[in-house]
Amino acid sequence: MEKFTKITSIATPFPRVNVDTDIIIPAKHLKSIRRTGFAAGAFESVRYDADGKLIEDNVFDGPTYKGAKILIAGDNFGCGSSREHAPWAIDEMGYRCIIAPSFADIFAGNCIKNGILTVSLPQADVDALVMAAEAGHPITVDLVAQTVTCENALYNFDFNPTHKDMLMEGLDEIGQTLKSKGAIADFEAKQKMTTPWLYR
Amino acid sequence: MPRTMYDKIWDNHLVEERGEGVGLIYIDRHLVHEVTSPQAFDGLRAAGRDIRRRDSIIAVPDHNVPTKDRDQDNPDEMSVAQLEALEANSKEFNLDYIPMVDARQGIVHVIGPEQGFTQPGVTMVCGDSHTSTHGAFGAFAIGIGTSEVEHVMATQTLLLKKAKNMRVTVNGDLPVGCSAKDVALAIIGAVGTAGGTGHVIEYAGSVIEGLSMEGRMTLCNMSIEAGARAGLVAPDDKTFNYIKGRPYAPKAGQWDVAVNFWRSLRSEEGAKFDKEIVLNGNDIVPQVTWGTSPEDVVPVTGEVPMPGSFAEPSKQEGAQKALDYMGLKAGQKITEISVDRVFVGSCTNSRIEDMRAVAEVIKGRKKADTVKQVLIVPGSGLVKAQAEEEGLDKIFEDAGFEWREPGCSMCLAMNADKALPGEHVASTSNRNFVGRQGPGARTHLVSPAMAAAAAIAGHFVDVREF
């Protein structure tokens, strides 16, 4: 997984509220048994017209925000289905960071596991960043300092320290957890005594 | 300090504290289906890792199985690839696997309880957000992504941040004609789709206590639509009676110990909830959604709201977009919305009680000519068999409804069951998102009884007066 410390990029403004994971990647595109190939169907209802033709100037494909690594989103972003295909698709589209007033819990967890930083900022700050993004100003997201800067504005954000380490080091979480194998085995030995019916 | 039920389950499963409210949490139960698991199995293979506890897993296909013509070749190659991958992976890793042709096959969240796999006090996961369903038994059950599926398989744990406690109390009595679905939608209407974000919701009060296990499952199922990753109901005699004798239930020698343990899980008097919501059950009326988020909900006696009636500009804009998509006018009466298609099914409402509710409303009547299709999709093969034993399938077929094989079906339209662009669907499922039931399809979430009444009338009606 690619390490995340600091990025500077123009940003795609997409401040719609309650964007669910069905919008990010509709269910009909979930049938791959691989982790890739989801970018083409991502945000389908925003990017394609009713006949399935790409809308040239949509925010994701138009020239204005081409190459953006930051997505500025609306409140409760990523609600709905737990599909990890949503962050896989967003990653494949080239985004490394999403800034929004709030994120749905499962989606936020899925992002971290795929090296995508989710930054929560107050609505007014996100509104200001949307305007800056629309004006084409580059935005810098610094995970080490936990700041977002744009022109003369600076915003601090909170971030879980465990998740911060994971993103900064690009860690494999399973390998990390398996260091606690002994503690897990001890837990099981104890649980087998108290609730034996959970074991076969 | 007095603890909530969630606090107790958390403490019982904490393997290691990791600071800042994060814990390494032991996972007891894992349901696996074809859509969110293939990449997890691939990951295990690539890293040369094994599954830690095979006995913690049941694997079953549900999301994209066909609901008819199962003896014929499935023309959808991609679905076939996922179904075959699940079967091959289950065999390779020697898992309890229920194939599509098995009488027990069905939606993960229906078969978990049916098999006695879902029990009070356990931690439970599945690569599906509606895993919250199992909270009806007092299980801490959450939906996870594919990386987490792999993580649980390899380590039997998850790194979780402890959520806050929220309690939703519904007092009084639920009026006749209202069901758990109406309670769930009324709650979401009150708190919004982000109202429970970061929280585990414990449902309490006389209305919740009065619900059947099926009703509690419907309610906990929709917790995720309120933003909460999990819902909980305190286990009681109803819970224990439901579990007793099922295949994965504690055996006779362990049963009494198990029940005593389960009784100890209730939230203690004086336990602190970070957020409290109280509703009066007597005020609840049958609910219908008008927009593209479950919070876009009104009583059937109401009207499609004016976008200007919302306080925030972003909500006003969202409401206008939703009305455009749904092809509705502000101020239109809900009962004036015609229905093109009806879907009864999904992990929210596909259990035997739901089938009975539909049959009771439609008995001796026929679907309206203007309604193109009414799909009745039972949640499992066992629900199907039970319904047929009770003769419900005859009632459905006499009314012109289609009686199908179990699966997720038109809830998310991953198989052939889809609505067409512009069609209004009365659906007992859980999400009215844009394109969820097919591109351009317009979903209205309702209870099974309300869906049945709409199928007969051809438009929404108040089932209490039907």
- Shortest Cα–Cα distance, A134 to chain B (Å): 17
pLDDT along chain A (200 residues), means of 10: 93 96 94 90 94 94 96 97 96 97 96 95 97 97 98 96 90 88 98 96
Q: Do A173 and B431 touch (CB under 8 A)?
A: no
Q: What is the pLDDT of residue B427?
A: 98
* Residue in A with minimal Cα distance to B130: A81
Residues of A in contact with B121 (CB under 8 A): 195
Of B15, B314, B318, the CB nearest to A184: B15
Residue B265 near residue B120, CB atoms below 8 Å:
yes
- Shortest Cα–Cα distance, A92 to chain B (Å): 16
Q: Is the dihedral of CA B233, B265, B145, B229 positive or negative?
A: positive
pLDDT average, residue stretch B179-202: 97
pLDDT band at B201 (very low <50, low <70, confident <90, very high): very high
Long-range contacts of B320-329 (CB under 8 A, 24+ apart): B321/A16, B321/B292, B322/B290, B322/B291, B322/B292, B322/B293, B322/B296, B323/B290, B323/B291, B325/B292, B325/B434, B325/B442, B326/B290, B326/B291, B326/B292, B326/B424, B326/B442, B327/B422, B327/B424, B327/B442, B328/B290, B328/B304, B329/B304
Residues of B in contact with A187 (CB under 8 A): 15, 26
At A6, is the secondary structure helix, strand, or coil? Answer: strand
- The full set of domains in chain B, from first to last, is 5-275 (3.30.499.10), 290-465 (3.30.499.10)
Residues of A in contact with B159 (CB under 8 A): 162, 173, 177
Is pLDDT of B46 > 90?
no
Q: What is the pLDDT of residue B254?
A: 97
Q: Two tokens at A115? A: 């090296």
A/B interface, count of CB pairs below 8 Å:
185
Residues of A in contact with B295 (CB under 8 A): 18
Q: What is the pLDDT of residue A137?
A: 97
Q: What is the pLDDT of residue A94?
A: 97
CA distance B238 to B339: 37
Q: What is the pLDDT of residue A162?
A: 84
Between strands A97-100 and A117-120, the pairing is: parallel
- Shortest Cα–Cα distance, B31 to chain A (Å): 14
Q: Do B36 and A177 touch (CB under 8 A)?
A: no
Q: Do A28 and B15 touch (CB under 8 A)?
A: no
* Residue in B with minimal Cα distance to A101: B194
pLDDT band at B312 (very low <50, low <70, confident <90, very high): confident
- Angle formed by the axes of helices A105-112 and A85-92, nearest 10°: 50
What's the predicted TM-score (pTM) here? 0.94
Of B15, B193, B440, the CB nearest to A79: B193
pLDDT average, residue stretch B130-153: 98
Give the residue from A30, A81, A163, A166 with the most B CB atoms within 10 Å of its CB, the best one to mutate: A81
Residues of B in contact with A20 (CB under 8 A): 293, 431, 433
Q: Do A17 and B315 touch (CB under 8 A)?
A: yes
Q: Do B24 and A177 touch (CB under 8 A)?
A: yes
Is pLDDT of B180 > 80?
yes
Of B24, B76, B148, the CB nearest to A180: B24
CA B93 to chain centre: 28
CATH assignment of A6-169, among 3.40.50.300, 3.20.19.10, 2.60.40.1120, 3.30.70.1450: 3.20.19.10
Q: What is the pLDDT of residue B107?
A: 98
Residue A98 β-bridge partners: A71, A118
Of A26, A33, A110, the CB nearest to B145: A110
pLDDT band at B91 (very low <50, low <70, confident <90, very high): very high
Element (H, E) at A88: helix A85-92
Q: What is the pLDDT of residue A171?
A: 80
Tens-place pLDDT, residues B262-282: 999 999 999 999 999 999 999
Average pLDDT value over all residues in chain B:
97
Q: What is the pLDDT of residue B191?
A: 96
pLDDT average, residue stretch B357-377: 98
Query: B165-202 burial by CB neighbour count: b if 16+ within 10 A, else e?
Result: bbbbbbeeebeebbbbbbbbbbbbbebbbbbbbbbbbb
**What are the sequence ranges of the domains in chain A?**
6-169, 172-200
